[in-house]
Chain A
Amino acid sequence: MNEPRVELPPLVGLGFLGTLFEAARQCLLLLLRNRLLWAMLLLLPLLAGLEYAVGGAGRNRLDGRDLYCLFAWWLLAGVVVPWLTLYLSVQAIHGEIEDRTFQYLFLRPVCRVPLLLGKMVAVAVLGIAVASFGAACLFVGAALRPDRWATGVEPELLTIFVEVNGFGVLAYVAVGALFAARFRRPMLWGSLAVVGQMLVALLPVSAGLRSVTVADPMRRLLLDRLDPNGQLARLLWPSERDFRSDLVGQPLLNLLAVGLVSLLLAAYAYARREYDARERE
């Protein structure tokens, strides 16, 4: 074939970090338009209001510290953080696969791994922001009744929950990315996984399976930071009646392991050459 010379476009590309940053920026902009995210931000002050109301009710009222830990652990760290993170991960990663818009991205001269990591960064940023806002709202809800705090209001509790939720969000983002990148119905399978790991995390310390969950290392990290009395320990870990500090183990290492394995599997699934193969359809 007698053809004129084909001028190939310059292969500049963005590079790994550039792609990651751009993917994160765009994903963040897209997720910020998600209504559920904003609904969640409105819901959190309502939870704080509920906490305030509960704090003033009943004869055997909880200490302010216990009340805050109870709400911040069971409602925020136990419900809001995993479900919101899973939902945002699925929206960011699987949404494009579901509506086929991923084809626009995958045909650009960039690697897919930083695309995935960028989306995860965006979800993590939003997850941590929402979790921190929730922790702050709940703290205000409890602190508005200073008479309930036997040893005075403890602002450091807020820092502890921001830290614990932050690590939890990072691990949940990796788990959510794995389900979003690998499964056709990621919310369904992800939900089963989240519920399952929460149930496993309720097992006594003798059950070694706990350490491969996210909820259990988060709880052990929280207990380590809180140094709780017996009542608070039982409120946070009902199945373990005699909490001792030596039961804490290596929660950060456990979270890192769960997060890293999930991340590697997610990257492998996302970077497969034939992502559009028929077995997904």
Chain B
Amino acid sequence: MSIAPTSTAPRLQFANASKWYGSVTALMDVSFQVGNEVVGLVGRNGVGKTTLMKLAAGLLQPSQGEVRVAGVPAGSRAARAALGFCPDTDRLFESLTGVQFVAWMLRYHGLGAATARRTAEQVLDDLGLGPAMHRKVGTYSKGMRQRVRLGQALAHRPAVVLLDEPMTGLDPIARAELAERIAALPGRGVGVLVSSHVLHELEAIADRVVLVHQGRLLAEGKVADLRRQLPGRPQTYRLAAPDLRELAAALVALPAVQDLSVGAEGLLVTAGDGAAFRAAVTELAAAGRFAIREFVPVGDDLATVFESLVG
């Protein structure tokens, strides 16, 4: 098999990819790309996230459309050489040491025994496994096991890695460490597609997110951009001013306002038409009334966006 040694193609590309099992549609007409960046994959259980990951890994074939890794069809030998996959299952070869396991995987990439072992030691050391890398995997904590799984996915220097629920089962400190490592991968030339239920952590590391619901790609982009794509959806704002009661009385008369409450942090206003409400508040502020000190959207995070989109 001969392939071009370099390619300008995206690291991972879904082009109208669909997957169905008989009459059950798992994924429908999904298109997006992953470049040299971290892309978060968001969706509830059973919406097709794992199917999407397996299509990218080549473990499944699209029923329609195309999935390419570094410009070559997913599942081909060249694609497998360019891909690292950290599956969602916590199973490893328990009787092997961390180094043995990673070195074994590297052998299949054509590395000699000594080089494979040296590379495995280096990768696991970089991941902070330390001397424990020479212990049997069966004795590892969840955080250490996650490092080994990540190590086997990164050791052969892939162009893209797929991380399926990598945060699951980790304690907060291990989560923070892992998030930091994932966020650093694009700096080493590795594109990342990562799925997680821990939305705020995903938001912190992902350059972009892809929202999947009922097998369809619901939205794609930066979280803030996605939030702006939701006209007509109620949005909450926090306002701070010296006289909140007077301000509340003025705002409640606006047709865009659906709900209003005064709290310790200020005035919380839920507006049905965000654009109209923002325009009205801007007018009030420009007129110099109420001395509005703060006017910020609340719930502009990934979880709110996701909940807004899927209802």
What is the CA–CA distance of A105 and B107 in the complex, to the nearest angstrom?
Answer: 11
| Contact (Cβ within 8 A) B58 A107 | yes
Closest A residue to B159 by CB, please name it: A6
| Contact (Cβ within 8 A) A8 B81 | yes
| Contact (Cβ within 8 A) A109 B78 | yes
What is the CA–CA distance of A147 and B157 in the complex, to the nearest angstrom?
Answer: 69
What is the CA–CA distance of A12 and B108 in the complex, to the nearest angstrom?
Answer: 9
| Contact (Cβ within 8 A) A11 B77 | yes
Partner of A274, one of B6, B59, B78: B59
| Contact (Cβ within 8 A) B59 A13 | no
Partner of A12, one of B3, B7, B82, B110: B110
In the complex, whether B264 has a CB less than 8 A from a CB of chain A is no
Query: Which residues on the B side are within 8 Å of A100 (C-beta)?
Result: 87, 89, 91
In the complex, whether B10 has a CB less than 8 A from a CB of chain A is yes
Query: Which residues on the A side are within 8 Å of B6 (C-beta)?
Result: 5-8
Partner of A108, one of B21, B59, B92, B105: B105
In the complex, whether A26 has a CB less than 8 A from a CB of chain B is yes
In the complex, whether B5 has a CB less than 8 A from a CB of chain A is yes
| Contact (Cβ within 8 A) A107 B80 | yes
In the complex, whether A9 has a CB less than 8 A from a CB of chain B is yes
| Contact (Cβ within 8 A) B83 A274 | no
> What sequence of 0s and 1s flags, for each residue 173-201 of chain A, a beta carbon within 8 Å of any chain B beta carbon?
00000000000000000000000000000
* A6 and B9 in contact, given A1-B35, A22-B108 (Cβ under 8 angstroms): yes
Total count of chain A residues near the partner, CB < 8 A = 36
Partner of B75, one of A1, A273, A278: A273
User: Within A82-112, which residues are at the interface with B (CB < 8 Å)?
Assistant: 99-101, 103-110
What is the CA–CA distance of A103 and B162 in the complex, to the nearest angstrom?
Answer: 13
| Contact (Cβ within 8 A) A8 B5 | yes
Closest A residue to B6 by CB, please name it: A5
| Contact (Cβ within 8 A) B7 A13 | no
Query: Which residues on the A side are within 8 Å of B75 (C-beta)?
Result: 273
In the complex, whether B61 has a CB less than 8 A from a CB of chain A is yes
| Contact (Cβ within 8 A) A8 B80 | no
In the complex, whether B70 has a CB less than 8 A from a CB of chain A is yes
Query: Which residues on the A side are within 8 Å of B61 (C-beta)?
Result: 273-274
| Contact (Cβ within 8 A) A103 B85 | yes
In the complex, whether A3 has a CB less than 8 A from a CB of chain B is yes
* A30 and B36 in contact, given A8-B82, A109-B81, A276-B59 (Cβ under 8 angstroms): no
What is the CA–CA distance of A210 and B92 in the complex, to the nearest angstrom?
Answer: 42
Closest B residue to A9 by CB, please name it: B81
What is the CA–CA distance of A5 and B104 in the complex, to the nearest angstrom?
Answer: 29
| Contact (Cβ within 8 A) A107 B85 | yes
| Contact (Cβ within 8 A) A275 B152 | no
In the complex, whether A59 has a CB less than 8 A from a CB of chain B is no
In the complex, whether A208 has a CB less than 8 A from a CB of chain B is no
What is the CA–CA distance of A87 and B266 in the complex, to the nearest angstrom?
Answer: 69
* A19 and B7 in contact, given A6-B71, A8-B70, A276-B59 (Cβ under 8 angstroms): no
> What sequence of 0s and 1s flags, for each residue 100-137 of chain A, a beta carbon within 8 Å of any chain B beta carbon?
11011111111000000000000000000000000000
Q: Is the interface of B mostly helix, strand, loop or mixed?
A: loop
Shortest CB-to-CB span from A68 to chain B, Å, is: 37
Partner of A103, one of B59, B156, B157: B59
Query: Which residues on the B side are within 8 Å of A1 (C-beta)?
Result: 10, 33, 35
| Contact (Cβ within 8 A) B8 A8 | no
> What sequence of 0s and 1s flags, for each residue 1-35 of chain A, a beta carbon within 8 Å of any chain B beta carbon?
10111111111111000010010001000100100
In the complex, whether B255 has a CB less than 8 A from a CB of chain A is no
| Contact (Cβ within 8 A) A14 B157 | no
In the complex, whether A277 has a CB less than 8 A from a CB of chain B is yes
Query: Which residues on the B side are within 8 Å of A22 (C-beta)?
Result: 104, 107-108
Shortest CB-to-CB span from B168 to chain A, Å, is: 14
| Contact (Cβ within 8 A) B91 A101 | yes
Query: Which residues on the A side are within 8 Å of B105 (C-beta)?
Result: 104, 108
Query: Which residues on the A side are within 8 Å of B89 (C-beta)?
Result: 99-100, 103
Query: Which residues on the A side are within 8 Å of B93 (C-beta)?
Result: 30, 101
Partner of A11, one of B8, B60, B78, B158: B78
Query: Which residues on the B side are within 8 Å of A12 (C-beta)?
Result: 109-111
| Contact (Cβ within 8 A) A9 B158 | yes
Partner of A4, one of B24, B36, B60: B36
| Contact (Cβ within 8 A) A105 B159 | no
| Contact (Cβ within 8 A) B78 A105 | no
Closest A residue to B149 by CB, please name it: A104
| Contact (Cβ within 8 A) A13 B85 | no
Q: List 21 A-B contacts (CB under 8 A).
A: A1-B33, A3-B36, A7-B159, A8-B6, A8-B78, A8-B81, A9-B157, A10-B110, A11-B81, A12-B110, A12-B111, A100-B87, A100-B91, A101-B92, A101-B93, A106-B59, A107-B57, A107-B80, A108-B80, A108-B108, A273-B75
Shortest beta-carbon contacts, A-B, top 10: A12-B110, A108-B108, A109-B81, A99-B91, A100-B89, A109-B77, A109-B80, A276-B59, A33-B95, A3-B35
